[in-house]
């Protein structure tokens, strides 16, 4: 019988998936050895295919644990644990994230082990793509399951380093989790190998030299410590790798403002700013995906999607800092280009007209924040609003932008805006998010962006600040800032405000790309979510809280041949 090399498996040791004798995606080793050039494309396509299943929980655990979103209420779906920080080891979405990540690692590693380096440049370039995927997977795994790098990386645990299917699967005895430091060393080694070997750029849907460099700029940024106690050698390396992408390559450019506001509609291959994205196509994106995919939770478009999760009041407030973004159809005005990815669901009354309201956020009993949309009445120059039986007179704060305040019955002053009534889901106005939808104008089709040039500029800005090169940091920061806000650049950056301004710009720019919660914790900051929604509004999550990291899936521990240490439970 011919020897069969099983490329598709992550091995029973790393996931709860069973091993097939000759599963789809496997190939006869004899055939591969005879003609590796013919075989590698099919094998490599299998590696990229794993990223599609992996990218869904990757987005949810990174984004839902942050402060850019709110959900209409509690949910029995496993993703609610990401929002509530009720960590458990039996979470199906985390199991998919772990299993798909290690399947990609196993497949990439098996190709690297099977096909010798040095046969020809084209083959080496494809091997480099395998190194990129493996390094990227280890990075995303260690940032989810390992503590932030500045917290004792020599002793804190990362993830197991298992590069490929063991020769003897049945009798395998695999190592326990490596330290955070050792896992990062594996990440860097793989990404540097990818940078060295990849010579072909096949477009943003495939790994490239620049994709490896962009990821290295982020990896070293994660290693660069906090603003208060930076690791400057790593910060310098973050700058060095950002430079390779920004000034060392002509393949990528920032989209102009008007195009950036349509970023989500461009396919990866038609977007000059996207460095690497996980390509999805309409033919593989079923009606089921339009509901249960990433965008389906953020909006209902064309009757598709649940539309149960919205932009947080905190994020909307950041968008409005330099001027009100007005989404009303006849008054549509976007001050911050990032506001173009938010779409309130204005509703009309029985007569087909919009209802004018004064929307503000109030403190309810128990210091719980909730939205109010109070119907507006105009009488000459006097404007009032009515909530229940209570009527309030609006006092102008900025009448041109229709920003007003009222003195509420509890004695507090609340500031809000005159707007149209937004449809409620339960008690929350639906501020739909479309950044993960409408690719090719196809409802919720979305190719998750892993790296783009805008992030690389922000990586370099933060690294410059940690090197105390504040003028350089300001230049990079304003490159991104003024693209979105015309004449909105910051005038100065220094040790007292760098952390606040850079982190705010990262939040605005990278929202809904699964970066926010990790950005908060890696810089030693607490996550606070004091805005309307069912999340805990009164308790912050400190960067040293045990809930900052996720539990290793129990299914993985149960099937692991060897010791696989769980994360602490308190």
Nearest Cα neighbor of 9 from 549, 559, 562, 423 is 559
Average pLDDT in the 238-255 region?
95
pLDDT-derived band at 173 (thresholds 50, 70, 90) equals confident
Q: Are 309 and 298 in contact (CB under 8 A)?
A: yes
Does residue 333 lie in a domain region?
Answer: no
SS3 337: helix
Which 3-state string (H, E, C) describes 66-93?
CCCEEECCCCCCCCHHHHHCCCCCCCHH
Contacts of 49 (CB under 8 A, 6+ apart): 25
Does residue 410 lie in a domain region?
Answer: yes
Does residue 58 lie in a domain region?
Answer: yes
Average pLDDT in the 398-426 region?
97
Residues 214 and 352 in one domain: no
Average pLDDT in the 15-27 region?
37
pLDDT at 286: 85
Of the residues 421, 454, 487, which one is the last residue of a structural domain?
421
Residues 209 and 62 in one domain: yes
Q: How many domains does the chain have?
A: 2
Does residue 256 lie in a domain region?
Answer: no
Nearest Cα neighbor of 183 from 234, 149, 207 is 149
pLDDT at 220: 99
We report the CATH number of the domain holding residue 43 as 1.25.40.390
pTM of the prediction?
A: 0.94
Of the residues 386, 402, 421, which one is the last residue of a structural domain?
421
Rounded to whole angstroms, the Cα distance separating 35 from 336 reads: 53
Tokens 């490929």 belong to residue: 164
pLDDT at 35 over 80: no
pLDDT at 23: 35
Average pLDDT in the 468-484 region?
98
Average pLDDT in the 414-424 region?
98
Does residue 480 lie in a domain region?
Answer: no
Does residue 445 lie in a domain region?
Answer: no
pLDDT at 32: 66
Task: Give the other-Cβ count within 10 Å of 34's Cβ.
Answer: 10
pLDDT-derived band at 1 (thresholds 50, 70, 90) equals very low
Does residue 409 lie in a domain region?
Answer: yes
pLDDT digits (tens, 9 = 90+) for 351-383: 999 999 999 999 987 789 999 999 999 999 999
Residue 89 is part of which domain span? 33-229+548-559
In DSSP notation, 242-266 reads: HHHHHTT-SS--PPPHHHHTTGGGS
pLDDT digits (tens, 9 = 90+) for 287-335: 888 999 999 999 999 999 999 999 999 999 999 999 999 999 999 999 9
Of the residues 421, 438, 460, which one is the last residue of a structural domain?
421
Residues 43 and 181 in one domain: yes
518-527 long-range contacts (CB < 8 A, ≥24 apart) are 518/62, 518/143, 518/222, 520/66, 520/67, 521/148, 521/548, 522/143, 522/148, 522/149, 522/150, 522/222, 523/226, 523/227, 523/499, 524/148, 524/150, 524/226, 524/228, 527/65, 527/66, 527/67
Chain centroid offset of residue 149 CA? 19
Does residue 253 lie in a domain region?
Answer: no
pLDDT at 10: 37
């Amino acid at each position: 019988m011919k020897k069969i090399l099983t490329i598709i498996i992550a091995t029973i040791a790393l996931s709860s998936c069973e091993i097939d004798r000759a599963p789809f995606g496997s190939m006869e080793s004899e055939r591969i050895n005879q003609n590796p050039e013919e075989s590698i494309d099919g094998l490599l396509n299998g590696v990229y295919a794993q990223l599609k299943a992996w990218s869904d929980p990757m987005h949810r655990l990174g984004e839902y644990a942050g402060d850019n979103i709110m959900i209409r209420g509690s949910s029995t779906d496993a993703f609610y644990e990401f929002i509530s920080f009720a960590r458990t080891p039996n979470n199906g979405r985390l199991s998919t994230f772990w299993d798909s990540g290690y399947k990609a690692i196993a497949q990439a590693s098996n190709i690297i082990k099977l096909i010798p380096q040095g046969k020809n440049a084209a083959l080496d370039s494809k091997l480099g793509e395998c190194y990129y995927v493996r390094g990227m997977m280890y990075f995303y795994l260690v940032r989810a399951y390992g503590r932030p790098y500045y917290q004792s990386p020599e002793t804190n645990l990362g993830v197991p380093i298992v590069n490929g299917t063991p020769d003897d699967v049945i009798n395998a005895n695999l190592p326990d989790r490596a330290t955070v430091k050792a896992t990062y060393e594996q990440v860097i080694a793989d990404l540097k190998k990818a940078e060295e070997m990849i010579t072909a750029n096949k477009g943003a849907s495939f790994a490239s030299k620049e994709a490896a460099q962009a990821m290295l700029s982020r990896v070293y940024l994660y290693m660069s410590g906090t603003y208060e106690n930076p690791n400057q050698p790593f910060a310098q390396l973050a700058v060095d790798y950002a430079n390779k992408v920004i000034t060392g390559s002509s393949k990528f450019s920032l989209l102009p403002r008007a195009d950036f506001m349509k970023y989500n509609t461009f396919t990866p291959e038609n977007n000059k700013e996207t460095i690497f994205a996980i390509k999805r196509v309409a033919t593989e994106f079923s009606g089921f995906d339009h509901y249960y995919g990433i965008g389906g939770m953020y909006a209902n478009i064309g009757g598709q999607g649940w539309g149960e999760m919205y932009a947080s009041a905190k994020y909307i407030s950041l968008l409005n800092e330099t001027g009100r973004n007005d989404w009303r159809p006849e008054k549509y005005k976007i001050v911050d280009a990032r506001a173009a990815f938010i779409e309130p669901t204005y509703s009309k009354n029985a007569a087909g007209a919009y209802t004018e309201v004064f929307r503000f956020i109030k403190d309810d009993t128990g210091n719980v924040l909730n939205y109010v949309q109070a119907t507006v009445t105009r009488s000459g120059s006097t404007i009032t609003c009515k909530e229940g039986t209570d009527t309030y007179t609006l006092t102008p704060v900025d009448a041109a932008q229709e920003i007003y305040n009222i003195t509420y019955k509890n004695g507090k002053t609340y500031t809000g805006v005159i707007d149209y009534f937004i449809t409620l889901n339960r008690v929350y106005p639906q501020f739909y998010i479309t950044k993960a939808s409408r690719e090719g104008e196809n409802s919720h089709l979305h190719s998750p962006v892993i790296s783009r040039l805008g992030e690389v500029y922000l990586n370099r800005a933060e690294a410059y600040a940690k090197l105390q090169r504040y003028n350089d940091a300001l230049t990079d920061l304003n490159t991104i800032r003024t693209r979105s806000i015309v004449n909105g650049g910051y005038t100065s950056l220094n040790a007292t405000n760098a952390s606040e301004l850079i982190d705010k710009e990262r939040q605005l720019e990278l929202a809904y790309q699964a970066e926010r919660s990790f950005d908060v914790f890696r810089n030693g900051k607490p996550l606070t979510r004091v805005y309307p929604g069912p999340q805990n509004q009164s308790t912050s999550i400190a960067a040293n809280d045990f809930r900052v990291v996720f539990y290793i899936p129990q299914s993985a521990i149960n099937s692991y041949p060897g010791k696989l240490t769980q994360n602490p439970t308190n």
